[in-house]
């Protein structure tokens, strides 16, 4: 028994030539066809796991196919609107000294946005109280003439043709004056925004 143990130790240190793929399930030592481990830990012989052979290895794989069939393109005209100066109609609106031309954006966007051209209305007296608008977005672009505002934290701002101003939601302001020929483009979200008068521009 002692000699057999020494034999196995020797085998573990230097595997014999010509060993098979059989291993001891306990010590994992590669054994030849006739060598067995000592009986004090023998649990039987098993085959060493072999890697599965892929019979298709190296074979050319088919190239992925591309779907070249024509795709259906859906177009929608919902929300499209075009307005023209020749059809312009101005009406009195938020300020009595201004006239407003609705550009049809409110209806096209289902009330999300309003856009209009504003121009000075003749025969009315100018007056302006400090106020703010409850909006999400407001932009004013001067098409013609000039207009002056006093803004909260900004002071007096004069806008002329080509000038543009973004009025943050809730900023207090008031108009100081405008030219007789002033025309503005104003875009506001939402369309039905509210205006609130305040006591002063700078609280």
Each residue's pLDDT tens digit, 45-93: 444 555 655 555 556 666 667 666 665 555 567 889 999 999 999 988 7
Q: Where are the domains of the chain?
A: 2-47, 85-197
**Percent of the chain scored above 90 by pLDDT?**
52
The whole model's pTM is what? 0.61
Cα–Cα distance between 131 and 196 in angstroms, integer? 5
pLDDT in tens, 146-163: 999 999 999 999 999 999
Task: Decide the pairing of beta strands 164-166 and 137-144.
Answer: antiparallel
- Check residue 59 and give its pLDDT: 60
Helix, strand, or coil (residue 108): helix
- Check residue 73 and give its pLDDT: 56
Cα–Cα distance between 153 and 178 in angstroms, integer? 21
> Options 3.40.1360.10, 2.60.120.10, 3.40.50.2300, 3.40.50.720; which CATH number does 85-197 get?
2.60.120.10
pLDDT at 19 > cutoff 80: no
């Amino acid at each position: 028994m002692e000699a057999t143990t020494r034999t196995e130790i020797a085998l573990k240190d230097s595997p014999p030539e010509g060993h098979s793929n059989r291993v001891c399930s306990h010590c994992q030592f590669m054994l030849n066809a006739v060598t067995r481990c000592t009986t004090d830990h023998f649990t039987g012989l098993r085959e060493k796991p072999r890697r599965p052979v892929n019979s298709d290895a190296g074979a050319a794989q088919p190239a992925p196919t591309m779907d070249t069939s024509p795709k259906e393109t859906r177009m929608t005209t919902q929300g499209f609107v075009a307005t023209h100066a020749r059809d312009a109609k101005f009406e009195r609106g938020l300020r009595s000294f201004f006239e407003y031309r609705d550009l049809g954006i409110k209806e096209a966007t289902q009330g999300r946005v309003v856009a209009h051209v504003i121009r000075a209305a003749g025969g009315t007296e100018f007056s302006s109280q400090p106020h703010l608008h409850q909006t999400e977005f407001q932009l004013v672009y001067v098409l013609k003439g000039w207009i002056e505002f006093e803004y909260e934290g900004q002071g007096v701002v004069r806008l002329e043709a080509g000038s543009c101003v973004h009025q943050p939601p809730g900023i207090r302001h008031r108009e100081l004056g405008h030219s007789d020929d002033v025309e503005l483009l104003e875009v506001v979200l939402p369309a039905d925004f509210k205006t609130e008068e305040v006591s002063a521009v700078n609280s």
